[in-house]
Amino acid sequence: MASVLAALEDSSLAERFDLRFFDTGKTTPPGRPLWLGVATRLRLMAAWWRVFGAAPVPVAHIHTCGGLSFFLDGLLLLLSRARGAPTLLHVHGAGFDAYLDRLSAPAALLARLIARRATCVIVLSPGWRRSLETRWPGARFAVVANGVAPPPCHAASTGVQPITGDTRDVLPRFLFLGNFGRRKGVPVLLEAARLARDPWVVELAGGDEEPGYGAWLTGEIVRRGCAHRLRVLGPLVGAEKSAALASAQGFVLPSLAEGLPMAMLEAMAAGLPVAVSAVGAVPEVVRQEIDGLVLPPGDPAALAAALDRLAREPALRSRMGGSAAARCRDLFGIERMADALAGIYAECAPPAGNADGAPVPANPPPSARV
């Protein structure tokens, strides 16, 4: 969600609307007492309540995911609805459908009531819409795919290298971009490195999704004798991330659960062929054998075979990378996302007055975002 919000903040949406951002993540120190966490949350809710007492009434745009965060965000949704504000519930998060299925009956009922109170529930793909419609009957849905900005110097750094000369001695380098943890398929990648036959290397960029996972991963690479195939880079942001994408020959993300991964879209925008798992919205975005290779989740043999194939077929990498860049530019650019959200904001805005009867000016309303 942080990547999506950062991209939107730099898009034309911030020029067309008066955006005010709320950070609802944990801001208290580790090990803090319960009372401090409760007090911090109450202060956030009080600030949220005050914002929606303004005229014209703002549009609340709440980005949410599974876990306790969903119900805390639900409280904000109910507060803004009580103020008469149009409220959008934007669902991210890998395995959100499975999260709903694990809820107790009372919690599942409360989740449905929250969704029905939303003016609109925004989901990442048609498949996510179908999935959540069965779990939240009566809720109103709209599909808005994540969007990414074009890479810097796009024309010069598509990641698609011309096929000239003898490429047999070139070691293909693939990039893994994501937090280190089981959900992102790191153990699958470890096993695929053992099974692979052709020469290639994967550089892993990211931080720990699970505490201590990066240190465990570094030790496991050595223990398995995979240091010639897997290299841990740690977190990459900004220019470092752009440079890593521009110099890679492919992208790999063997996740076990996803929403619509921004890292994959960034890789496609950079002109990289992708080897990714068929989870979440991924199969709706990546066309098999056209933009990349879509693999069964949790299958290291399939992943090893896919990376072997990309390593030994530079022409295939070039073709898929060019197709991925064009598809991302046409369908998953940040300005397309901004346009879609602007349309939803306009539809949701009160046509003549707010809940207190105050007039609403012709200019677009501001958007409060979580």
CA-closest candidate to residue 182, choices 234, 235, 257, 252: 257
pLDDT tens column, 74-103: 999 999 999 999 999 999 988 999 999 999
* Residue-level pLDDT at 351: 55
Strands (E), the chain: 19-21, 59-64, 87-91, 120-123, 141-143, 173-177, 201-205, 230-234, 250-253, 274-277, 292-295, 367-369
Q: Would the pLDDT of 369 be above 70?
A: no
Average pLDDT across the chain, whole number: 88
Question: Is residue 370 scored above 80 in pLDDT?
Answer: no
pLDDT digits (tens, 9 = 90+) for 101-121: 999 999 999 999 999 999 999
Least confident span in 29-43, 81-95, 126-140, 277-291: 29-43
- Give the whole-number percent of the chain exceeding pLDDT 70: 90
Grouping H, G, I as helix, E, B as strand and the rest as coil, residue 192 is helix
Average pLDDT over residues 63-68: 93
pLDDT given for residue 339 in this prediction: 96
* For range 317-338, the mean pLDDT: 96
What does the alpha-carbon distance between residue 360 and residue 55 come to, in Å, rounded to a whole number? 7
pLDDT (0 to 100) of residue 154: 45
Are 64 and 370 in contact by the 8 Å Cβ rule? The answer is yes
Helix axes 300-312, 314-331, angle to 10 degrees: 110
pLDDT 10s digits, 34-54? 888 889 889 999 999 999 988
For 251-275, letters b (16+ CB in 10 Å) and e give: bbbbbbbbbbbbbbbbbbbbbbbbb
**Averaged over 331-345, what is the pLDDT?**
96
Domains of the chain are 2-147+333-369 (3.40.50), 154-331 (3.40.50.2000)
Model's pTM, two decimal places? 0.85
Q: With CA atoms as reference, report the closest residue to 149 among 264, 11, 22.
A: 11
- At residue 337 the predicted structure's pLDDT band, cuts being 50, 70 and 90, is very high
What residues have CB less than 8 Å from 241, skipping those under 6 apart? Answer: 177, 205, 266
Share of the chain above pLDDT 90, in %: 74
Residue-wise pLDDT for 257-280, tens only, equals 999 999 999 999 999 999 999 999
- Please report which confidence band the pLDDT of residue 30 belongs to, taking 50, 70 and 90 as the band edges: confident
